[in-house]
Chains A and B, each alone.
Chain A
Amino acid sequence: MSGGWGLDGGAGASAEAQTVFSVQNLHVSIGRSPIVEGVSFSLEREQTLGIVGESGSGKSMTVLAATGLLDAPGARVSGSALVHDDRLGSQQLVGASRRALRRVHGDAIGFVFQDPSTSLNPLLTLERQITESLEAHRGMTRRTARTRALELLSAVGIPDPEMRLDVYPHQLSGGQRQRVMIAIALACDPALLIADEPTTALDVTTQAQIIDLVRDLQAQRGTAVVWISHDLGVIGQVADEVIVLQQGQVVEQRGIVDLVDRPQHPYTRELLAARPKLGGSPPPPVDAAGEVLLDVQDLDVRFAVSTPTGRGHVHAVQQVSFQVRRGTTLGVVGESGSGKSTIANALTGLVPAGGSAVLGGQSLLGRVPRALRRRLAMVFQDPFSSLDPRVRAGDAIGEPLRVHRLHAGRHRERVRELLDLVHLPSAFATRFPHELSGGQRQRVSIARALALEPDLLILDEATASLDASIQAQVLDLLRDLQQELELTYMFIAHDLAIVQQMSHDVLVMQKGRAVEYRPAAELFGAPAEAYTRALMAAIPPDRPRAALEA
């Protein structure tokens, strides 16, 4: 890192014109607790800095503070963050007035945030959203701004840009919305682009497209990029330099290839090891002729939707058939909207479905006796919302016992056993969900599901919202429990790498149809369908792109 970068900016401007963003000794604290402690970096034209760390490590805080966007009550920021733009000159962002910040934001600095569905205004057409900064910063007329918006939309690869200018955000897919966000961020040709988890909410294939798009645009325009992600795989695809943050402290700051090949800090090694990778060890094999526990034939789910043009229906799951043998795991993969969660909801009775689904001789569809519900438990994706905020962990785990009158008279001991099973101390029984971390909550959810003593456990993206290292721990726990209790899993995920680690058989879903259904070893060894191959190709490779290019 170039350490001795002067704060005067103007004097050495010609020599240092290449440095776009320079942050020195940035500290952020809220109240008395330090959030970010001493982050320094400088970034040149066309360079990408990756900031990686797990949730709560201060990645977003660092960038928000450095760009003057931090708006938390009681937050204090110190240090220096200097942005340099050829037209606007240098501007100190720490402690700058709102007026000075307004001049820079959207002009010298563009932003892309995580969730494209909420960062666009649903009431404005794309044209209005893209031209907003052009009219504000460049004083363009509506007509010239429209021409520019058209260029931008075609630059970010939106088909039929002419037509799309007048559409509203809800008419676009998630990936297209993120492209529009990028178009807005790049509207004024900023020297610096801040991308905060821009691909986290997207499917893997879309993620790969967005990464390529940003890299292309960066090469054309020479934009410097700060890319924040929890995913070292993604960072490996985009970054030249990487900062690894742990609890607000920089534990490692080096070139990406160096970092991946020779990690110095144990935390970096932990992050690298926790990355889900294809080719990991599959689950231990089981008897291929085992008893069929769940037999699903021609499962079919339609949702009625009423639109302004009349009633229609969405065919969410189309004639899907599969079987799950006792003691095995069926992995279900697919991108969002492929119908994989709908299968789970149909099996658990949350949505009505056609076809047949038989669990141990009893049909799961239609009205079923309550006792049958017990044989099928489900763990949901979001550990934050799948626990009732007003129910203590112990009561949440004990609820199925009460509902199904299991272990009458010894609920407390059973709850303690279950907590022990998921490796949580028994004192956690009195905690409320918000007093637990994400991983701990997901353990409580698993314990609650196990309280039913189910035949089949459906894990619907159960580890998707956890940090990589915690995801690895929870996956280990699930594998151990499967061995110990001879559990049967239906493991629904969008991440092929973890599906490969967990599953004996794999069902690949696309747009409500099963495109491939085979034993995991065969499928990952030689994927037959183009879609499966596309999914596998979209997984960020193990080696960083910089290493492959060199």
Chain B
Amino acid sequence: MSTTEDRPTAEGRVGEARLGSLRLLAASPVTVAAAVVLVVVVIVALTAQWIAPYGINDVDVSRALQGPSGAHPLGTDDLGRDILSRVMVAAGTSLQVALVSVVFAFCVGVPIGIVSGYVGGWLDTVLMRIVDVMFAFPVLLLALAIVAILQPGLATTMLAIGIVFTPIFARVARASTLSVRVEPYVQVAQTMGTPWYRIMGRHVLPNITGPLIVQTSLSLAFAILSEAALSFLGLGIQPPDPSWGGMLFAAQGFVSQAWWMSVFPGLAIFVTVLACNLLGDGLRDVLDPKQRTRIEARQR
């Protein structure tokens, strides 16, 4: 990097004070835009039942399948229900399903993966065979089994999706851990007598965040769609309660007659997932010290 010992490196002119993570996140306009979109979606989801122009079950067959108009900005569905209102209310359900199931999968899968990858040996074999078995179950089959035990509904849907996603997180975490485990800085920590839980928390987990963040953003999108599939089979959110995925499926039969029935819920999914991915990218950059130096240099 440098020829004389104390020459600061090209990107290393960093003073005593460093910028906080939040300010660094705020430095990227894309990240800020993504965060604003997500905040708006969350606010809408929380307040939908008061600010929605119509009730979600205001059936009015005489106004069925009407295109966007002043009275119904996003049109109406086959039962004459206002799509805008339903999309707004559905935001709450869909976000809740996506968030809870992914958080569940992350919190269960990542520790399994890290322990499995770091400890290795028979524990790795046992854990990974369990994960393989979980992988082998199709989403719907597993959900069916879970629903057979519990009642169909929001909580069951979240649990089913969470369990299905768990092995994916476990696999990603394990693969990354395997490569981090043999890094000399982990060996240094071992030679210093650092306890295993500290090595995992302080050296392994932070260094595998990159792939985990990518996996999380992807999973959020898939969770919304999985919920749609489950609802379609009558195993997820029970009609007439709306969810974005459920609305998409309901619109299937009307694609040629009423494009707005599928486009607007689809757009809601698209915008939310995109915002999640962009925020994830911004977060990954700020958590990566190398990107961080670059952002800081640009700020000065």
The CA-CA distance from A378 to B14 in the complex, in Å, is 29
B11-A380 in contact (CB<8A): no
A95: chain B residues within 8 A (beta carbon): none
A380: chain B residues within 8 A (beta carbon): 184, 187-188
Segment among B35-43, B57-65, B194-202, B214-222 that sits at the interface with chain A = B194-202
A372: chain B residues within 8 A (beta carbon): 193
A389-B207 in contact (CB<8A): yes
CB-nearest residue of chain A to B182: A385
- Give the most central of A378, A390, A445: most B CB within 10 Å: A390
Segment among A67-75, A165-173, A220-228, A397-405 that sits at the interface with chain B = A397-405
B287: chain A residues within 8 A (beta carbon): 390
B207-A437 in contact (CB<8A): no
B129 CB-CB contact with A under 8 Å: no
CB-nearest residue of chain A to B186: A388
A403-B187 in contact (CB<8A): no
A373-B193 in contact (CB<8A): yes
> Quick one: given A430-B14, A432-B293, are A439 and B191 in contact (CB under 8 Å)?
no
The CA-CA distance from A310 to B18 in the complex, in Å, is 56
CB-nearest residue of chain A to B12: A435
A374-B192 in contact (CB<8A): yes
> Quick one: given A388-B203, A403-B198, are A435 and B191 in contact (CB under 8 Å)?
no
B195-A370 in contact (CB<8A): yes
A54: chain B residues within 8 A (beta carbon): 3
A399-B189 in contact (CB<8A): yes
Size of interface on A: residues with Cβ below 8 Å to B:
51
B183 CB-CB contact with A under 8 Å: yes
Contact of B9 among A348, A400, A436 (CB under 8 A): A436
The CA-CA distance from A176 to B45 in the complex, in Å, is 67
B2 CB-CB contact with A under 8 Å: yes
A378-B188 in contact (CB<8A): yes
A379, chain B: closest CB distance, angstroms: 8
Contact of B207 among A390, A445, A469 (CB under 8 A): A390
CB-nearest residue of chain A to B15: A427
B289 CB-CB contact with A under 8 Å: yes
> Quick one: given A390-B206, A432-B289, are A437 and B11 in contact (CB under 8 Å)?
no
A431-B12 in contact (CB<8A): yes
Contact of B192 among A55, A373, A390, A467 (CB under 8 A): A373
Q: Which B residues contact A (CB, under 8 angstroms)?
A: 1-3, 5-7, 9-12, 14-16, 18, 183-185, 187-195, 198, 202-203, 206-207, 287-290, 292-293
- Can you list 13 A-B contacts (CB < 8 A)? A373-B192, A382-B184, A388-B185, A390-B289, A399-B192, A399-B202, A403-B194, A404-B192, A431-B12, A437-B2, A440-B6, A448-B188, A469-B3
With A386-B187, A439-B5 given, name 16 new contacts (CB 8 A).
A33-B10, A55-B1, A247-B3, A349-B191, A350-B187, A382-B184, A388-B183, A389-B207, A390-B289, A391-B202, A431-B14, A436-B9, A437-B2, A437-B5, A467-B3, A470-B5
